[in-house]
Amino acid sequence: MHNRRIVYLGVGLLAVLLTWFLVDSAAASIVFVIAGTLIICLEISEDAARHLHPEIFASIHDDAQTVIVENLGTAPAISVNVRIIPEDIRYEIGDLAPDTTHSYELPAMVREAKAAVSWVKKDGTRKEKIFRLSGYADESDPLRPTFPLFSWKEK
């Protein structure tokens, strides 16, 4: 991958120098900005490909009876198990592919509960997260990125 970066930088520098000498310095600066943008886009896509991981999120539907578990990450979550606390409800989802959701209808409406969701990551480690389920409070996080990049989450 390091050689690929050198090739990208070399091609971009060659394009800038050719534009500088053959056309104009203003056109060369435009080519510089375009080449730099393309190189940064390639770096971002390589970083995203290197750091694939599931991001599981659980919430309750507006009817306060359906639990929705979704994988917002970039890798599949294997062997997903859900426990609803204090209702003592346990169920297994199995594998949850990226950008997919799974719904489970509870036997009765829930005022306040917690969902303990555990899954196995690609490297074989088991991870667990606990989510508050409430029909009253808004569960959205305004600072949460649209898609995970640059290893922003805890490891």
DSSP state of 71: E
pLDDT at 137: 63
DSSP state of 134: E
Q: Can you give the pTM of this predicted structure? A: 0.62
CB 134 within 8 Å of CB 146: no
Task: Dump pLDDT digits (tens) for 71-100.
Answer: 888 888 888 888 888 878 888 888 888 888
Percentage of the chain beyond pLDDT 70 is 86
CB 115 within 8 Å of CB 100: no
Task: Dump pLDDT digits (tens) for 97-119.
Answer: 888 888 888 888 777 888 889 98
Would you place residue 66 in the very low, low, confident or very high pLDDT band (cuts 50, 70, 90)? Answer: confident
> What homologous superfamily is domain 56-134 in, according to CATH?
Immunoglobulins (2.60.40.10)
154: pLDDT strictly greater than 60: no
- Which residue ranges make up each domain of the chain? 2-50, 56-134
138: pLDDT strictly greater than 70: no
139: pLDDT strictly greater than 60: no
DSSP state of 101: E
Give pairs for 27-32: CB < 8 Å, separation 24+: none
**Which structure tokens are listed for 144?**
């949460």
